[in-house]
Amino acid sequence: EIVLTQSPATLSLSPGERATLSCRASQGVGSALVWYQHKAGQAPRLLIDGASDRATGVPARFSGSGSGTDFTLTISSLEPDDFAVYYCQHRSSWPYTFGQGTKLEIK
Amino acid sequence: EVQLVESGGGLVQIGGSLRLSCSASGITFSNYVMHWVRQAPGKGLEYVSAISTNGGSTLYTDSVKGRFTVSRDNSQNTLYLQLSSLRPEDTAVYYCVRPYLYWGQGTLVTVSS
């Protein structure tokens, strides 16, 4: 099973700042990496697929990069609505797994 | 508009069974692999199961193998997850997913003595 490790566990930033979230895989997953935003009581929202392809309707301030074992989700300038938990997930081989999440909180 | 609506969750005793359903609309259901993902209270997301377009191929995470069964009825645009031999650690919100864009709102399963 591929283990995804996200860092940091919690990120405290202010609106307007840049957020950089990391996801590291225990073995290479190519570009088969997905990022989600998750708010309590809601379904997860797809942000990025294929490591860097923004999903339909996702603002351009969200970007994904990386391949193999190291991936990054960047939010260029935080909006109040962006404070949530972010998960990475690989779809390289079964079982698909998620990282443990990064909680992005308002400083 | 794509909608995935889960149902069938509830409170069940340890060792009991439950069948979850996911009704899909707004998509050509038979064209898509479907997934089940769960989230235990206060925990992260966990993949549970996947099923091929015709139901002929199924996958499970190790912790549910032999206890959960995924199936689908393409004529009814419905995905199912049969949960058996339930344990307290199966307590979670169960999401139906049309990978990876569309998620249902989830249905809560609580396993308790």
What does B54-77 look like in DSSP terms, one character per residue? TSS-EEE-GGGTTTEEEEEETTTT
Contact B96, B38 (CB under 8 A): no
Query: Pick from A46, A49, A95: which is nearest to B47 by CB?
Result: A95
What residue in A sits closest to B4 (Cα-Cα)?
Answer: A43
Q: Could you tell me which residues come within 8 angstroms of residue A11 by beta carbon, excluding any fewer than 6 positions away?
A: A19, A21, A102, A103, A104, A105
Q: What is the pLDDT of residues B80-92, one digit of tens each?
A: 999 999 999 999 9
Q: Could you tell me which residues come within 8 angstroms of residue A82 by beta carbon, excluding any fewer than 6 positions away?
A: A19, A37, A75, A104
Q: What percent of chain B has pLDDT over 90?
A: 99
Cβ–Cβ of A98/B47 closer than 8 Å?
A: yes
Q: What is the pLDDT of residues B60-80, one digit of tens each?
A: 999 999 999 999 999 999 999
pLDDT value, residue B113: 81
Q: Which residue has the tokens 């697929």?
A: A49
Which residues does chain B have within 8 Å of residue A64's beta carbon, measured at their own beta carbons? none
Which residues does chain A have within 8 Å of residue B59's beta carbon, measured at their own beta carbons? 94-95
